[in-house]
């Protein structure tokens, strides 16, 4: 697992609540840790988010470490950037900038549909409310991962991680959104899928 240092990531969706705990959502192919203070390095994506929840996002090249901010602002809840990209073995660090949030994988271990690669480890930061609290997860399995904020999922606080250079046609996460999810969640997943497909050079 990589330890990240440096400046905070761009403003973004929602943050997490809770105190620092070590919460790794299972699976032998990844490592998750959380700390009280944020630590940051490179950005694997740049994004814009308007008040209507739209996206104007360019995803950068894969890197070994990426920062994501969890933000509450103007009544909105955001991960920023919405989509990031790391190398296989790369680490994403989420920092709670404001509000109370979690970063939680769409994984059966979290009682959610699988929107991560087959065999990939789950993660769940638990709720974080302290400003500057961080959680990091190292991704050892190539593919596309969708995740959400537990208290704000229904409000569209979702994000994605691209690991390596996966074939978009083989990604569970890029299939049609689960039918049993609220329309707001399905719409957000559709938006994220478009961003991810564009980043992977897939024109359908």
- Indicate which CATH number applies to the domain containing 174: 2.60.40.420
Reported as type and span, the H/E element at residue 90 is strand 83-96
Express each pLDDT in 55-105 by its tens digit: 446 898 999 999 999 999 987 999 999 999 999 999 999 999 999 999 999
pLDDT above 70 as % of the chain: 71
Q: Are strands 158-163 and 104-105 parallel, antiparallel or unpaired?
A: unpaired
Question: What's residue 97's pLDDT?
Answer: 97
pLDDT-based confidence at residue 158 (cuts at 50, 70, 90): very high
- Specify if 92 maps to a domain: yes
pLDDT-based confidence at residue 51 (cuts at 50, 70, 90): very low
Strand partners, 104: 124, 148
The CA distance from 62 to 67, in Å, is 12
* Structural domain harbouring 122: 30-199
Mean pLDDT of the chain, nearest integer: 81
Question: What's residue 202's pLDDT?
Answer: 83
Q: Is residue 81 reached through a cis peptide bond, with omega within 30 degrees of 0 on the bond before it?
A: yes
Round the CA-based radius of gyration of the chain to a whole number and report it.
15
For the chain, helix, strand, coil in percent to 5 are 15, 35, 50
The CA distance from 28 to 138, in Å, is 11
- Tell me how many domains the chain contains: 1
Question: Is 16 known as a binding-site position?
Answer: no
Q: pTM of the prediction? A: 0.77
- Specify if 8 maps to a domain: no
Inter-residue contact 67 to 8 (CB < 8 Å):
yes
110 φ, ψ (degrees, to nearest 5): -105, 20
Express each pLDDT in 10-35 by its tens digit: 333 333 333 333 344 444 445 666 55
- Specify if 76 maps to a domain: yes
pLDDT-based confidence at residue 124 (cuts at 50, 70, 90): very high
- Specify if 14 maps to a domain: no
pLDDT-based confidence at residue 49 (cuts at 50, 70, 90): very low
pLDDT-based confidence at residue 157 (cuts at 50, 70, 90): very high
Inter-residue contact 84 to 126 (CB < 8 Å):
no
Question: Is 157 known as a binding-site position?
Answer: yes
- Specify if 11 maps to a domain: no
Q: Which of 47-51, 140-144, 176-180 has the lowest mean pLDDT?
A: 47-51
Helix (H, G, I), strand (E, B) or coil at 154: helix
- Specify if 119 maps to a domain: yes
- Specify if 25 maps to a domain: no
> Quick one: how many helices (H) and strands (E) in the chain?
1, 10
The CA distance from 159 to 79, in Å, is 6
Express each pLDDT in 160-200 by its tens digit: 999 999 999 999 999 999 999 999 999 999 999 999 999 99
Residue identified by tokens 């920023």 is 80
pLDDT above 90 as % of the chain: 67
The CA distance from 146 to 104, in Å, is 9
Which sign, positive or negative, has the C-alpha torsion 148, 62, 175, 110? Answer: negative
- Specify if 85 maps to a domain: yes
């Amino acid at each position: 697992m990589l330890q990240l240092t440096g400046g905070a990531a761009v403003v973004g969706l929602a943050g997490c609540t809770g105190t620092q705990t070590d919460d790794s959502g299972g699976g032998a192919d990844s490592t998750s840790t959380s700390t009280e203070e944020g630590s940051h390095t490179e950005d694997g994506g740049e994004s814009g988010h308007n008040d209507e929840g739209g996206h104007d996002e360019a995803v950068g090249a894969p890197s070994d470490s990426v920062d994501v901010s969890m933000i509450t602002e103007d009544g909105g809840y955001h991960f920023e950037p919405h989509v990031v990209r790391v190398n296989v073995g790369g680490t994403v660090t989420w920092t709670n900038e404001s509000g109370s949030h979690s970063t939680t994988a769409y994984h059966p271990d979290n009682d959610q549909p699988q929107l991560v690669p087959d065999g990939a480890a789950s993660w769940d930061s638990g709720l974080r409310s302290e400003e500057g609290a961080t959680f990091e997860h190292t991704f050892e399995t190539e593919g596309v991962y969708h995740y959400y904020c537990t208290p704000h999922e229904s409000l569209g606080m979702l994000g994605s991680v691209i690991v390596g250079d996966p074939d978009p046609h083989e990604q569970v996460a890029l299939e049609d959104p689960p039918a049993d999810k609220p329309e707001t969640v399905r719409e957000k997943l559709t938006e994220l899928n478009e961003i991810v497909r564009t980043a992977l050079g897939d024109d359908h």
